[in-house]
Chains A and B, each alone.
Chain A
């Protein structure tokens, strides 16, 4: 800074402060962090060494333990018996497919059959349930019964249904935990038991997305009454150290994109508390590319606990999320479809749908008089990093740049989300968009063991999505016919590698002479 300019600044400061003496000269500071773990702030209350029959780890949070939906034939029978339009024989055959022990992989075969069956639990046949959860009976959801939870008092009130924080703060709003905290895949003392949480962590560390935080101020990093926090997406993948942990002090760019927010904050003894902002944009917790995006928390805020040396920290991100968005993002965690995941994870997202809507506690919709949001909190850990501004030309990269099928999968997911929300609001059953592998289609058609007695029963009787030839897609985004077989643009069948099933036949040629070539080919 040139001496003249410095003199002017000094004069301005004196004028603004009315000539009073300034406190000890402030020094600007900046600290950066990369988020190393990112998960729902669910508080585990069970004993990991305890099992009792089908119940898993009862605890103060979930007295009957984790959810056991579709964990065994009895559970699946309960789910299917709710559809009055199913015959007893149909339920019997689905629950215990005849001749299942004769196929090579009975477990996977049964999974595909169950997936197809539980995907149609509407008030009448033909309504895909996960796309139209409102059209199905409520299967019931265990809820967290304990009074302790992490999170924030988002509404400033202390209501009877609110939680108390582990530190004793009353009025904690974390209704998502109340609604989904007994799901086995999220409920555990650590990530080794919580399968979904562990998988999300793996993809975060694997570079699916990166979240960074930058805190700055002019007083002291551990005590600053006027600090600033920025949170956002980084295009740089997390760097691991030699022991598998998050390497410290690497540089990450922060993008001031749709997933970026700048907040005012106060710091007291290393506890960073931000203001509550109307919209808090951050990278969204995700396991697959199609789930990535903006969290967009309403009335959001962040609290961090930074260790004295500044190298690491823990924290909470909270606010209200639209419960419909949460339903879609959580119900379709994998490209395999919602029913497939529910069977594998022993969860029932139809039950979650109802739990989310009745536990909604924020974002009052003046038109409907209903709450559109549900209070939510995410738990994070931090590792020290250099967080630097990115060049303005850098945008959030498309995963499809590296793996093309992700593009159609994301488009299919967005169509799915639009259909689900349209159906919920209009109360009109919506179709499954092509590319969403719901009800085991086309997996069941492609992988069904031909030797299973009753194969025709399952393939012809159970509902599934139907599309005109060439509109449906397989796992890799290839066009398929209605029977699930891969086809080319002319409708000819292809093998799994994309090669024609039959050698190409010579086509009729327009000529004045006899079509000798075509005739010979056909005779062969």
Chain B
């Protein structure tokens, strides 16, 4: 079969489908947001001066294009609120991802080493939280973490502490919420990576003198690299932009870009600023990822 065989219409449609999907539901909305981000903020409905409209005449396009501005992007850099929100979001997301990994790894390992007939049940249990509303599950954490919540009451009753611990409305509460909510997204790729490992590799390592700890560090862990990366991305990326969890558990102290965005949109009615922040966030996450992926592909090509 030649590599440049002509594709039939059906094949072309099948290949085009995901591109059309991404174009319609990701790229088009992103472009709308990008358009707003380079507009000027005004007190009106909508609260910005559009730089073009599909119904515009040629003259209008020129005059409206004069409204093009990068002020919102300049504000992102100069306004410390944004810089701090980004940094805080990245930090909280990074810490949460790390903790999720540490918590999920033993679970995934236990699942992968469980008897084969048990595994579907364990996977089902890992996905069980999805059967209830995400919002309700995060709300439940308020009942656990607040000053007169379950944890504080239990600790006081046991005499471990005399005054309630401040857990609710802290960055720590946000981390707990993210770790809890995103655990399945870490668990499943880790499980998939560990489950396909050939058990005789561990035996071979032990046979060659590796203690159980060395077998884990030298064989099991490096061979689950793909799963770790996939899980970390699935947790880290949505966690950076997370809004619900910091809003419910974080209190007013916890700064995260999701909430700053929300405030700009709904409280300050500064749509261009919020749009610019959103575009910058996508760029912040996507560009390093693309560069990394490209480097990885190059390395793979070179190794061939």
- Do A and B make up one complex? no
